[in-house]
């Protein structure tokens, strides 16, 4: 049977492969460009769930894989920072089923706070990494990641990038993997309880596995080689492979599908005798450094191409040795808060009161732009609370009294709760005010549910975390819930009054996201028995 062609995004291709492979559980936290993987997996009929954050998602995936299931965990690149703690030790324990962790990197920062290169994580944690160049690779490598994970009992990282996640290319699904055994608990205390006496041999086992995987990758790992000239030979990974082929049709190009551990000898052989050998990679010079460390002389891109995405034009420039400043991109229209967005009333108040705003990530980050310009810091999810407390603790009192922490509802659940604990435990002498902007959804990434909405990934009713109950249970007595849009002037006065009180306060500004409001109403109707 000829497999049916499908036109799929990289995200959809990962989901389809996971579904075809009988993945039992998909867990993750939304984050562009990874979000659609679990959404599509659920649409196909897979069991997918949002966790409160990436660390929990990975822990759930580890548990499933300890239980001998096939598990998929998805997140954007910065999510792996949050999940790094379980990642590094899961590399030691290994898994009994399969564990595939998708890291969706964002070179160029289309919608992220940094452009960290998560290929560094593979080497740091000692976890194999596969890097698809297009949706067909995304499909094939998801299956391969499951096979590698099961064969060597090791978690596997699948590194996507924004272009690969969000580009649609043609996919031909291949034959399904043999079905895995049913989940079952088999006790393995020494293998899974990482007290030092067990972790020491576990680290040695990990290194032995990586050596075996490296040998396999050298001999028969995934790769593509196109062209055969010896004048110019290029090693390129991820989507840079597709760009490089177009930019240099005369070149021979090698794409290592598994970039950690790298098939160094295969690449050495490919480059042998070539007049010119160039590494083309987005982000950090990981491949170039690894090859040079093995004594393979390669040209790396000039430093200016570390920044941003690569494309055909930039690769032509790299090959031409062009380091002249690049033409500035056309001034695009920036995004803004929707007209009628409930966040508007909040930022108008913070602006009018000249607050020092410790901000956070979400739609409400747009409060930094005119006409509000009411955000002074933004670091990472959850940082609003801690950073605000740090400023309160050290600024002169008259400035400290103006500090407000502003955090969205999904972000609060993700990593703001521990900040509230800090506030109770180390209260600033001037008090503090935390504003939770509860718009009933994770708007920024496309309206996903979270534990505060009381609905699951596929919008069915489930347990609901009440922010006001949580804050009161932590011992914060001044907890207020208001709709900021009903009486904006009254809201402003409330903020002024809380700042003047010099106590610990939490205001939950509750009003549904305008774009999500219709949908939320529909879901709520379905929720009624």
Partner 1 sequence: MSRSVTNIVVAGLGGQGVLKASDIAAEAAFRSGRDVKKSELHGMSQRGGSVTSDVRYGAEVLSPMVPAGEADFLVVLDADQVEINLPLLRPGGMLIDPARLEGVRLASRKSLNVALLGVLSVSLDLPETAWREAIATHLPERLHAANFAAFEAGRAAAGGHGGSR
Ligand X SMILES: Cc1ncc(C[n+]2csc(CCOP(=O)(O)OP(=O)(O)O)c2C)c(N)n1
Is the CB of residue 344 less than 8 Å from the CB of residue 373?
no
CB atoms within 10 A of CB 397: 11
Residue 274 contacts ligand SF4 per CB under 6 A:
no
Tell me the closest approach of the beta carbon of residue 116 to ligand X, in angstroms.
Answer: 11
List Cα–Cα distances, 179 to 16, 24, 47, 147, 182, in angstroms: 16, 11, 17, 11, 9
CB of 85 to ligand X, least distance (A): 13
State yes or no: residue 78 binds ligand SF4 (CB under 6 A). Answer: no
Choose one: 129-137, 409-417, 455-463, 467-475; the region binding ligand X (CB under 6 A).
Answer: 409-417
Site for ligand X in 469-508 (CB under 6 A): none
User: Between the CA of residue 438 and those of 32, 386, 435, 481, 511, what are the distances in Å?
Assistant: 20, 19, 9, 10, 6
Q: Identify whether the C-beta of residue 271 lies closer than 8 Å to the C-beta of residue 292.
A: no
Task: Please say whether the beta carbons of 57 and 83 come within 8 A.
Answer: yes
Residue 363 found at the interface with ligand SF4 (CB under 6 A): yes
**Measured from the CB of residue 513, what is the shortest distance to partner 1 in angstroms?**
10
Q: Which is nearer to partner 1, 166 or 306 (CB)?
A: 166
Q: Are 269 and 291 spatial neighbours (Cβ–Cβ below 8 Å)?
A: no
Beta strands in 106-151 (DSSP E): 129-130
Helix ranges (DSSP H) in 94-134 = 119-125
- The answer to whether residue 205 forms part of the interface with partner 1 (CB under 8 A) is no
The residue among 251 and 444 lying less far from ligand SF4, judged by its C-beta, is 444
Q: Are 419 and 382 in contact (CB under 8 A)?
A: yes
- Of residues 420, 405, 517, the one with CA closest to residue 468: 420
The pair of structure tokens assigned to 151 is: 């064969």
Distance of alpha carbon 498 from alpha carbon 485, whole angstroms: 18
Residue span binding partner 1 (CB under 8 A) among the ranges 122-130, 141-149, 195-203, 245-253:
245-253
Q: How far is the CB of 28 from partner 1 (least distance, A)?
A: 18
Q: What CA–CA distance (Å, rounded) separates 156 from 217?
A: 14
Q: Which is nearer to ligand SF4, 434 or 443 (CB)?
A: 443
Contact segment (CB under 6 A) with ligand SF4 among 47-55, 76-84, 481-489, 510-518 equals 510-518
Closest CA to 14 of 155, 136, 125: 136
Q: Which of 397, 482, 389 lies closest to 437 in space, CA to CA?
A: 482
- Pick one of 2, 189, 330, 473: the residue that binds partner 1 (CB under 8 A): 330
444 binds ligand X (CB under 6 A): yes
Residue from 332, 370, 473, 529 touching partner 1 (CB under 8 A): that is 332
Residues 26-65, mask of contacts with ligand SF4 (x by CB under 6 A): ----------------------------------------
The Cα–Cα gap between 403 and 384 comes to 11
> 163 or 343, CB closer to ligand X?
343
Residue closest to 112 by CA, chosen among 334, 321, 379, 314: 379
Q: Which CB atom, from 249 or from 269, has the smaller least distance to partner 1? A: 249
CB of 12 to ligand SF4, least distance (A): 23
Encode burial over 409-429: b for 16+ CB neighbours within 10 A, e otherwise.
bbbbbbbbbebbeebeeebbe
Determine, following the binding rule CB under 6 A, whether residue 414 of this chain makes contact with ligand SF4: no
Smallest gap from Cβ 134 to ligand SF4, in A, equals 30
Within 8 A by CB and 6+ apart from 306, the residues are 283, 284, 285
- Site residue total, ligand X (CB under 6 A): 24
CA distance from start to end of the chain: 46
- State in angstroms the smallest separation of the CB of 517 from ligand SF4: 8
**Shortest Å, Cβ 245 to partner 1:** 5
Q: Which does 514 bind (CB under 5 to 8 A by kind): ligand SF4, partner 1, ligand X, none?
A: ligand SF4
117-136 positions binding partner 1, by CB under 8 A: 134
Task: By CB under 8 A, name the one of 24, 119, 163, 344 that touches partner 1.
Answer: 163
Residues 438-467 that bind ligand SF4 (CB under 6 A): 439, 443
Both tokens of 177, joined, read 């993997």
Size of the residue set binding ligand SF4 (CB under 6 A): 10
Q: Binders of ligand SF4 among 320-359, rule CB under 6 A?
A: 337-338, 341, 343
Taking CA atoms, 137 is separated from 100, 118, 182, in Å, by: 15, 18, 28
Residues 175-194 that bind ligand X (CB under 6 A): none
Two tokens at 511?
A: 């009003």
Q: Smallest distance from the beta carbon of 273 to partner 1, in angstroms? A: 25
Q: Which stretch binds partner 1 (CB under 8 A): 116-124, 167-175, 466-474, 476-484?
A: 167-175
Strand residues in 416-484 grouped as ranges (E): 432-438, 478-482
The binding site for partner 1 (CB under 8 A) comprises 5, 7, 32-33, 108, 110-111, 134, 162-163, 166-170, 239, 242-243, 245-247, 249, 311-313, 330-338, 363, 366, 444, 446, 515
The binding site for ligand X (CB under 6 A) comprises 29-31, 54, 76, 78-79, 82, 361-364, 381, 408-411, 439, 441-445, 513
The binding site for ligand SF4 (CB under 6 A) comprises 337-338, 341, 343, 363, 439, 443, 513-515
């Amino acid at each position: 049977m000829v497999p049916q062609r499908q036109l799929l995004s990289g995200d959809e291709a990962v989901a389809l492969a996971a579904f075809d492979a009988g993945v039992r559980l998909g867990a993750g936290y939304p984050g562009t460009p990874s979000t659609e993987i679990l959404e599509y997996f659920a649409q196909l009929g897979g069991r997918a769930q949002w966790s409160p954050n990436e660390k929990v998602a990975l822990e759930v995936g580890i548990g499933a894989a300890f239980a001998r299931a096939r598990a998929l965990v998805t997140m954007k690149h910065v999510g792996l920072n949050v999940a790094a703690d379980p990642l590094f030790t899961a590399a030691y324990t290994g898994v009994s089923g399969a564990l595939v962790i998708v890291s969706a990197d964002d070179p160029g920062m289309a919608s992220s706070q940094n452009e960290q290169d998560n290929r560094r994580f593979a080497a740091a944690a000692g976890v194999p990494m596969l890097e698809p160049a297009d949706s067909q690779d995304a499909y094939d490598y998801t299956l391969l990641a499951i096979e590698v994970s099961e064969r060597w009992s090791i978690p596997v990282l699948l590194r996507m990038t924004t272009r690969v996640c969000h580009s649609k290319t043609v996919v031909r699904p291949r034959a399904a993997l043999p079905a895995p055994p049913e989940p079952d608990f088999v006790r393995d205390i020494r293998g899974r309880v990482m007290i030092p006496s067990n972790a020491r041999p576990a680290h040695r086992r990990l290194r032995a596995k990586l050596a075996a995987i490296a040998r396999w990758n050298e001999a028969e790992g995934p790769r593509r080689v196109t062209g055969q000239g010896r004048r110019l030979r290029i090693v390129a990974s991820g989507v840079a492979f597709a760009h490089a082929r177009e930019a240099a049709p005369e070149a021979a190009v090698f794409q290592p599908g598994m970039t950690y551990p790298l098939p160094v000898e295969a690449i050495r052989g490919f480059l042998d005798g070539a007049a010119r050998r160039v590494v083309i990679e987005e982000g950090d010079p990981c491949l170039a450094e690894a090859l040079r460390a093995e004594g393979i002389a390669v040209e790396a891109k000039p430093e200016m191409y570390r920044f941003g995405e690569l494309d055909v034009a930039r690769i032509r420039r790299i090959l031409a040795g062009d380091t002249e400043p690049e033409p500035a991109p056309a001034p695009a229209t920036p995004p803004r808060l929707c007209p009628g967005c409930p966040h508007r009333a909040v930022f108008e108040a913070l602006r009018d009161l000249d607050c020092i705003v410790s901000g956070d990530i979400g739609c409400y980050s747009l409060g930094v732009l005119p006409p509000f310009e009411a955000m002074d810091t933004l670091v990472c999810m959850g940082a609003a609370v801690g950073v605000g407390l740090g400023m309160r603790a050290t600024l002169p009192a008259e400035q400290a009294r103006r500090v407000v922490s502003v955090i969205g509802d999904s972000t609060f659940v993700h990593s703001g709760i521990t900040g509230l604990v800090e506030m109770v435990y180390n209260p600033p002498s001037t008090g503090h005010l935390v504003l939770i902007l509860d718009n009933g959804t994770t708007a920024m990434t496309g309206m996903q549910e979270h534990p505060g909405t009381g609905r699951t990934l596929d919008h069915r009713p489930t347990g609901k975390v009440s922010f006001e109950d949580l804050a009161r249970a932590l011992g914060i007595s001044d907890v207020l819930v208001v709709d900021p849009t009903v009486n904006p002037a009254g809201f402003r006065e409330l903020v002024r009054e809380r700042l003047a009180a010099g106590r610990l306060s939490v205001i939950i500004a509750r009003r549904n996201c305008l774009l999500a409001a219709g949908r939320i109403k529909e879901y709520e109707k379905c929720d009624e028995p």
